[in-house]
Amino acid sequence: MIIQLTIGTLIIIVNVILQAEMFSAYSRRLEKTIIALRVRFRRFANTAAIVTGVLFVMSVHSIQVWIWAFTFQTVGAFHELEPALYFSLVSFSTVGFGDITLGPDWRLLSALAAANGFLSFGWSTAYMVEMVRRTA
């Protein structure tokens, strides 16, 4: 149990740092991006900025899902990448289909992945609200 909690906590820390750094970097470039999009897309510049921002946020989530998938595979919870990735996505998005479950040795990791995803999606929602406010 302690090993699961330790590994899960470390992965959450890595994902939080990743998301903070990537959001910070994107925020620093947002004004320049909006100006460039206004030149190119004129009337649709705000829409283009929002679409670009949403795709960026989704890419951050994708990286986090891959980190969890590699973690699940590295600890031996899965022997192949595809089920590890599928389980990671289902857990991180908090959908939790339940068609694939972890054994007792690693099942706490799935709850930590879900908690990480839940907080990450909440943070991303707040980030996108602020991004939309800045583009208007």
Q: What is the C-alpha to C-alpha distance for residues 16 and 26, in angstroms, rounded to an integer?
A: 15
Least confident interval from 28-37, 58-67, 122-131? 28-37
Average pLDDT of the residues in 70-93: 97
Count Cβ neighbours within 10 Å for each residue of 24-58 and write b for 16 or more, e otherwise.
eebeeebeebbeebbeeeeeebbebbbebbeebbe
Highest mean pLDDT: which of 29-38, 42-51, 56-65?
56-65
Distance CA 58, CA 98 (A): 23
The mean pLDDT of 64-72, rounded to a whole number, is: 98
Give the percent of the chain with pLDDT over 90.
71
- Roughly what angle, to the nearest 10 degrees, separates helices 107-135 and 2-41? 20
Percentage above 70 pLDDT, the chain: 100
Per-residue pLDDT averaged across 100-123, rounded? 95
Using the predicted structure, report yes or no on whether residue 48 has a pLDDT greater than 90.
Answer: no
pTM exceeds 0.85:
yes
Assigned CATH topology for domain 2-135 = Helix Hairpins (1.10.287)
Higher pLDDT, 98 or 20: 20
